[in-house]
Every structure is written in C-alpha cells, then in structure tokens.
Amino acid sequence: MVPAPVRNAVRARLQRRFVRFQYNYLNWRAQESVFRYLNYGYVDLEPHAPMLRLDPQEETNRLSIQLYQHVVESVVLRDKDVLEVGSGRGGGASFLARNFHPRQMVGLDYSGLAVRFCSRMYDIPGLHFQKGNAEKLPFADASFDVVVNVESSHGYSYVQRFFAEVYRVLRPGGHFVFADFRGAAFVPALNRELDESGMILIQKRDITANVVESLDRDSDRKKALISQLVPAYQLQPILNFGAVKGSEIHGKFKNGELQYWSFVLHKPKG
C-alpha cells in the first residue's frame, strides 16, 4: 500500500501537469484571438475606491488589468529591470511596460506558443518575451529589481525552486510581487515556503472576495468567448478552468475551499 503522503504528492504533481497542458491547449486554441489575459481578475471592494483609468480598447480586460494593478501598486517599476514569470499572452507585461515605464520588461513563459504570440503581438520599446521555466530561470544572479508573478505558480512542480530562483535573480533590495490561488489546506504550506525563501514579507492579503466578485461580473463574457474558441466536447473542462458561474472551481472559491492571496516581499540588502 502506497503511503498517503506519497499518493497525495503524486496526485498533486499530475494535477499540476494537467494545468500546464490546459494552458498550452488554450494558447493553441486562442491563437490570434482577443485573449490577452488569462487570470481571474480583481475588483476593489472599498465603497469609494477610485476607478483605474484605462484606454477604451482596454476596457474589455479591465478586471484582469486590475489584478496586475493590485499586485504592483506598492512597488516602484519606473526605470527598473522587471521580470514577469508566467506572462501568458502578454497583456499584463504590456500593461506594465506602457504604464509604469520600467527600463526593461521581460515576460517569461513555459509555453513556446504563448511566447511566439507575444513576440509578434507587442511592439513596445524595452519589452520582450522569452521561453523558460520558472523553476530554472535563464538569467544571471542579481539581474532584476522586481519579479512579478500572477496566477501562474499553482502549476509549478516545486514552487520552492521557483522562490529560490526569484531570490537568486533579484538584486539585493529588490521586490517580489506575487498573486495566486491555493486550496485552503495548502495556504499554510505556501506561507512557510515563502518564509523559507530568504525574502522578507512586507505585505500579504487574502483577496478571495475581490476575485470572486470579478469572476461573477465576468462570467457571461468569458462563457461566450470560450464557447467560440473551444469545440463542444472540450467545453466543460475549459469552462471549469475559466471558473465561470456554475463550475466546480467557481463553487470552490465561493465556499472557501479555494483561496486567492497576494504577497509583497523583498530581498534583504545584505
């Protein structure tokens, strides 16, 4: 009989592989389509929160953009070297490059399809995309001031390796801004792994309610988009992956089985 911890670890590994497969599949299906973001979005729930100003053509992606805005709002990107790990279809990296004026903005993703799409799609000075693995970053030590990571780490085989890599590529005093979801039972482990990374926690926030509000507002639009892209026999798993209303993942966010957190950390100066 295989012991339960080994069984759970194997199951978790297979699930993460399946997640990566789903992202590749979506990227393949989406090809040149309007999809620029692949995250669940964020809504500021403060009663009089100011509305983020966006170009009219970006309104359709407002909720996903608001998640990026939330993630980076407490760090300075201007004139910095910024890396986004898990940049997907590049909307976030492009938004950061255009609005926060880093010296250099690099988007890195595991999916060659996504990287090729982004390299064709965005022509912004200082912004470029490359293929690579979060757990083995293809960069020299101390080469970035800020590392951004949005809704990507839940698919990594060993997230501790990713955190060690972030620590390595950050300059002393640099920042790591990070947001993602986990099963509620795995949130303590995530906190421990961040704690053991050598970086210092500046801020952490449970943003589950903000993300659920975004999922609720965006459900109909997302359903329609996914239905156009994906053949009927593949529809259910992808709608679930998109956490549209009525899906299992949406239900798990609603009942607290899944939690969404954001973190700001920094690498000590020395």
Contacts of 236 (CB under 8 A, 6+ apart): none
| Phi–psi pair at 243, nearest 5 degrees | 55, 40
In the complex, least distance from residue 116 CB atom to ligand SAM, rounded to whole angstroms: 12
Site for ligand SAM in 147-186 (CB under 6 A): 150-152, 155-156
Is residue 94 at the binding interface for ligand SAM, with CB under 6 A as the rule? Answer: no
* Closer of 80 and 178 to ligand SAM (Cβ): 178
Q: Given candidates 69, 94, 111, 197, which one binds ligand SAM under the rule CB under 6 A?
A: 111
- How long, in residues, is the chain? 270
Is residue 109 at the binding interface for ligand SAM, with CB under 6 A as the rule? Answer: yes
The structure tokens listed for 42 are: 């964020």
Closest by CA position to 80, among listed 30, 27, 18, 126: 126
Is residue 107 at the binding interface for ligand SAM, with CB under 6 A as the rule? Answer: no
In the complex, least distance from residue 266 CB atom to ligand SAM, rounded to whole angstroms: 21
Is residue 38 at the binding interface for ligand SAM, with CB under 6 A as the rule? Answer: yes
In the complex, least distance from residue 41 CB atom to ligand SAM, rounded to whole angstroms: 9
Q: For strand 258-266 and strand 170-183, is the pairing parallel, antiparallel, or unpaired? A: antiparallel
Choices 36-44, 116-124, 163-171, 257-265 (CB under 6 A): range interacting with ligand SAM:
36-44
Residues in binding contact with ligand SAM, number by CB under 6 A: 23
CB neighbour class for 95 (10 Å; exposed up to 12, middle 13-18, buried from 19):
buried
Is residue 86 at the binding interface for ligand SAM, with CB under 6 A as the rule? Answer: yes
Question: Collapsing DSSP states into helix, strand and coil, what is residue 134?
Answer: coil
Instruction: Give the H or E element holding residue 84.
Output: strand 81-85
Choices 129-137, 185-193, 214-222, 242-250 (CB under 6 A): range interacting with ligand SAM:
129-137
The structure tokens listed for 67 are: 């998640």
The residue with tokens 């929160």 is: 49
Residue number, nearest CB to ligand SAM: 88
In the complex, least distance from residue 7 CB atom to ligand SAM, rounded to whole angstroms: 23
Alpha-carbon gap, residue 74 to 252, rounded angstroms: 29
Q: Using CB under 6 A as the criterion, which residues of the chain lie in contact with ligand SAM when the complex forms?
A: 20, 23, 37-39, 85-88, 91-92, 109-111, 114, 133-135, 150-152, 155-156
